[in-house]
């Protein structure tokens, strides 16, 4: 958000920007955090059949991780599960926002690396583009916290 030293084309909108910024911040938090949940439902529990994933349970994921050199594959799979079903929803709620965003961002960056290595750049070819954009969406919350419309702010009175 522009600070008071940043000139605005229409200075009259400055108050509108300040009033709406917490809602924009919360909306981005909601979208980034929620995007992980259906992905996890598909990956771990076989939801959304025919949506492109060849994996549909933890055992298959563990096998793929092992084949790609991630050891121990069980622990790596458990960390992916935690990122998608714990850190993602915590980011949505704005609870423990910075650590949740860090977990989401790291998971998405590793995912982007793997997709780049296996599939190239473009999202429609399962490349790095898609997880990289989501990692960029999580990044501001590592540094900025959850904002005014977060449980961190409402329950703790400060941004975790």
Does any domain span residue 20?
no
Residue 86 CA to residue 90 CA, distance in Å, equals 6
* Number of other CB atoms surrounding residue 86 within 10 Å: 16
- For residues 136 and 159, the model is more confident at 136
Domain containing 79: what range? 25-156
Does 70 map to a domain? yes
Instruction: Report the alpha-carbon distance of residue 87 to residue 96 in Å, rounded.
Output: 9
In a domain? residue 1: no
For 103-130, how does the pLDDT look when each residue is reduced to its tens digit (9 = 90+)? 999 999 999 998 898 888 888 787 899 9
The residue among 36, 15, 32, 13 whose CA lies nearest residue 146 is 32
- Report yes or no on 133 lying in a domain: yes
Q: Taking the model in full, what pTM does it have?
A: 0.88
- What ranges make up the beta strands (E) of the chain? none
**How far is the C-alpha of 145 from the C-alpha of 31, rounded, in Å?**
15
Please report whether residue 16 resides in a domain. Answer: no
Q: Where does the pLDDT of residue 3 fall: very low under 50, low under 70, confident under 90, or very high at 90 and above? A: low
pLDDT at 109: 96
- The total of structural domains in the chain comes to 1
User: Going along 20-154, which residue ranges are E strands?
Assistant: none
């Amino acid at each position: 958000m522009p600070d008071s030293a940043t000139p605005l084309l229409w200075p009259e909108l400055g108050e509108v920007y300040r009033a709406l910024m917490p809602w924009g911040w919360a909306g981005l938090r909601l979208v980034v955090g929620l995007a992980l949940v259906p992905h996890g439902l598909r990956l771990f529990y076989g939801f959304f059949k025919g949506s492109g994933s060849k994996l549909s349970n933890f055992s298959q994921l563990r096998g793929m991780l092992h084949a790609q050199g991630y050891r121990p594959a069980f622990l790596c799979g458990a960390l992916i599960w935690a990122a998608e079903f714990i850190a993602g929803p915590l980011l949505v709620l704005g609870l423990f926002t910075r650590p949740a965003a860090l977990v989401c961002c790291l998971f998405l960056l590793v995912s982007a690396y793997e997709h780049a290595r296996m599939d190239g750049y473009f999202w429609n070819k399962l490349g790095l583009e898609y997880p990289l954009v989501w990692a960029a969406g999580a990044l501001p919350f590592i540094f900025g916290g959850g904002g005014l419309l977060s449980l961190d702010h409402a329950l703790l009175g400060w941004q975790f």
